[in-house]
């Protein structure tokens, strides 16, 4: 079958022929419907080296944002209908530690002894015609369009997890949220904030068209550059934002978020650009929290699917064939996509 393979660090992946996988015990074989291209893939193949903090080693098939139809059941799997449509919950932990027992494979306590982190991160992923996944990682889509739903697995789940943890800061009248970086994750973050909170959502990106799309989803937009923090603070009546979400994670974006925060606010860095911030008694508003989040739980993916089916999350998708997958990554790198790139084999 055709697949997009990450073969070595600091070089582009290749589209090549690989063996069709066989589902092991407790796994299913999925015929891939769609596989989203995430900026994390770019970091993995373009920036990571052999001593990366995640312990990722090539080669493997990319694609950690996957949907598909059940094609074949592995040994011991029952109760899943062949032909039914599912999303893949990407992270795969040991399945028996405390984190995994609450559906949070992202924070598996035994990660050091695992060969991979997730479908498409260390283990073969969904940028291929077929993929195998453990049956406990399937989240049913019912009759929802699986191609349009593929971005839910990461571009929606990751902001959903970050936002859900920040909800106590956004409950009540007169609250403000800030979203920095309006790409695959950031656009959906605006939709989730609008659906789950009554907060005013302030959004920013370097690209005017990305801000236009966020404005159409209900955000107030503020361009970058000189005076940005003052403009954000002015919208909040001077108090600052109660929750900030940085989907870039570069030094300047973290500093913008930090300077825009209210007292007792919460800043979540989701983007992995690797920027740093000064964190000291006098550098921050009183009782402000700085945190980071990684992906989400399988239970939250069920909740994300419910929001999608209710029309509250509407991923903007640009479809690419498997042979055009490298073009999808090129456009993601150069920042010229208008929606999440989904590879449709
Ligand atoms: P994307 O390329 O689709 O979107 C990034 C957006 O940020 C683009 O619209 C770009 O114009 C904007 N941007 C870049 N630099 C900016 C700046 N200095 N100021 C304002 N806007 C800026 O990327 P994505 O797939 O949405 O991923 C976003 C980030 O989240 C990446 O760093 C990715 O690796 C990371 N990520 C983290 C997790 C996690 O679990 N923590 C999961 C998925 C992705
Ligand atoms: Zn575990």
Residues 205 and 321 in one domain: no
Looking at the structure of the chain, the number of domains it has is 2
| C-alpha of residue 65 to centroid of ligand 2, in Å | 20
Q: Which residues are CB-neighbours of 300 under 8 A, at least 6 positions away?
A: 103, 157, 160, 161, 164
User: Beta strands of 48-129 (E only): which ranges?
Assistant: 60-61, 66-73, 85-88, 118-119, 122-123
Q: Is the beta carbon of 63 within 6 A of some atom in ligand 1?
A: no
The values of phi and psi at residue 123, to 5°, are: -110, 150
How far apart are alpha carbons 150 and 243 in whole angstroms? 27
Residue 189: closest CA among 253, 271, 277: 271
Nearest CA to ligand 1 atom 34: 40
Rounded to the nearest angstrom, the gap between the alpha carbon of residue 314 and the centroid of all alpha carbons in its chain is 14
Q: Is the beta carbon of 211 within 6 A of some atom in ligand 1?
A: no
Per-residue pLDDT of the chain (345 residues; tens, 9 = 90+): 999 999 999 999 999 999 999 999 999 999 999 999 999 999 999 999 999 988 999 999 999 999 999 999 999 999 999 999 999 999 999 999 999 999 999 999 999 899 999 999 999 999 999 999 999 999 999 999 999 999 999 999 999 999 999 999 999 999 999 999 999 999 999 999 999 999 999 999 999 999 999 999 999 999 999 999 999 999 999 999 999 999 999 999 999 999 999 999 999 999 999 999 999 998 899 999 999 999 999 999 999 999 999 999 999 999 999 999 999 999 999 999 989 999 999
How far apart are alpha carbons 334 and 188 in whole angstroms? 20
How far apart are alpha carbons 307 and 280 in whole angstroms? 38
The values of phi and psi at residue 105, to 5°, are: -60, -20
What residues pack around ion ligand 2 (CB closer than 5 A)?
93-94, 97, 100, 108, 110
Given a contact cutoff of 8 angstroms between Cβ atoms, the answer to whether 133 and 116 are in contact is: no
Please give the number of the atom of ligand 1 that sits closest to the Cα of 185.
Answer: 26
Q: Is the beta carbon of 205 within 6 A of some atom in ligand 1?
A: yes
Domain end, chosen from 292, 314, 331, is at 292
ipTM for the assembly: 0.99
Domain end, chosen from 250, 270, 292, is at 292
| C-alpha of residue 117 to centroid of ligand 2, in Å | 11
Question: Domain range holding 106?
Answer: 2-152+297-344
3-class secondary structure, 30:
strand
The values of phi and psi at residue 264, to 5°, are: 65, 15
Q: Is the beta carbon of 41 within 6 A of some atom in ligand 1?
A: no
Residues 11 and 120 in one domain: yes
Residues 137 and 183 in one domain: no
By most ligand atoms within 8 Å of CB, the mutation choice from 150, 185, 191, 338 for ligand 1 is 185
Q: Which ligand is nearest to the CA of 94?
A: 2
| C-alpha of residue 294 to centroid of ligand 1, in Å | 13
Residues 141 and 8 in one domain: yes
Distances (CA, A) of 201 to 155, 195, 215, 228: 18, 11, 9, 15
Residue 13: closest CA among 98, 127, 99: 127
Residues 88 and 179 in one domain: no
Residues 146 and 10 in one domain: yes
Residues 213 and 262 in one domain: yes
| C-alpha of residue 3 to centroid of ligand 1, in Å | 25
By most ligand atoms within 8 Å of CB, the mutation choice from 35, 36, 39, 179 for ligand 1 is 39
The reported pLDDT for the residue numbered 283 is 86
| C-alpha of residue 73 to centroid of ligand 1, in Å | 36
Q: Is the beta carbon of 207 within 6 A of some atom in ligand 1?
A: yes
How deeply is 244 buried, as exposed, middle or buried, from its count of CB atoms within 10 A (0-12, 13-18, 19+)?
buried
Domain end, chosen from 249, 272, 292, is at 292
Q: What is the CATH number of the domain that holds 229?
A: 3.40.50.720
């Amino acid at each position: 079958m055709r697949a997009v393979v990450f073969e070595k660090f600091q070089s582009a992946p290749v589209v090549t022929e690989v063996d069709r996988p066989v589902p092991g015990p407790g796994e299913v074989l999925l015929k891939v419907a769609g596989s989203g291209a995430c900026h994390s893939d770019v970091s993995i193949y373009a920036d990571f080296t052999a001593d990366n903090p995640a312990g990722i080693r090539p080669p493997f098939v990319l694609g950690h944002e996957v949907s598909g139809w059940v094609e074949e059941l592995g040994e011991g799997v029952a109760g899943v209908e062949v032909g039914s449509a599912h999303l893949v919950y990407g992270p795969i932990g040991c399945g028996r530690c405390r984190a995994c027992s609450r559906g949070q494979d992202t924070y598996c306590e035994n990660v050091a002894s695992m060969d991979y982190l997730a479908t498409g991160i260390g283990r073969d992923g969904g940028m291929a015609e077929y993929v195998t996944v453990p049956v406990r990682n399937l989240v049913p889509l019912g009759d929802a369009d699986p191609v349009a739903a593929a971005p839910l697995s990461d571009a929606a789940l990751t902001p959903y997890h970050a936002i859900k943890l920040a909800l106590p800061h956004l409950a009540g009248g007169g609250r403000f949220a800030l979203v920095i970086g309006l790409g695959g994750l950031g656009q959906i973050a605006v939709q989730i904030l609008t659906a789950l909170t009554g907060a005013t959502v302030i959004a920013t990106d370097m690209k005017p068209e990305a801000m236009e799309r966020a404005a159409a989803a209900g955000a107030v937009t503020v361009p970058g550059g000189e005076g940005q923090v003052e403009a954000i603070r002015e919208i909040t009546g001077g108090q600052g934002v109660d929750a900030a979400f940085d989907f870039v994670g570069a030094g300047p974006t973290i500093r913008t978020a930090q300077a825009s925060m209210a007292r007792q606010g919460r800043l979540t860095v989701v983007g992995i650009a690797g920027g740093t911030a000064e964190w000291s008694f006098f550098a921050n508003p009183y009782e402000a929290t700085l945190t980071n989040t990684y992906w989400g739980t399988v239970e939250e993916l069920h909740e994300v699917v419910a929001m999608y089916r209710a029309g509250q999350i509407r991923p903007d998708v640009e479809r690419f064939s498997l042979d055009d997958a490298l073009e999808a990554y090129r456009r993601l790198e150069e920042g010229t996509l208008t929606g999440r790139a989904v590879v449709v084999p």
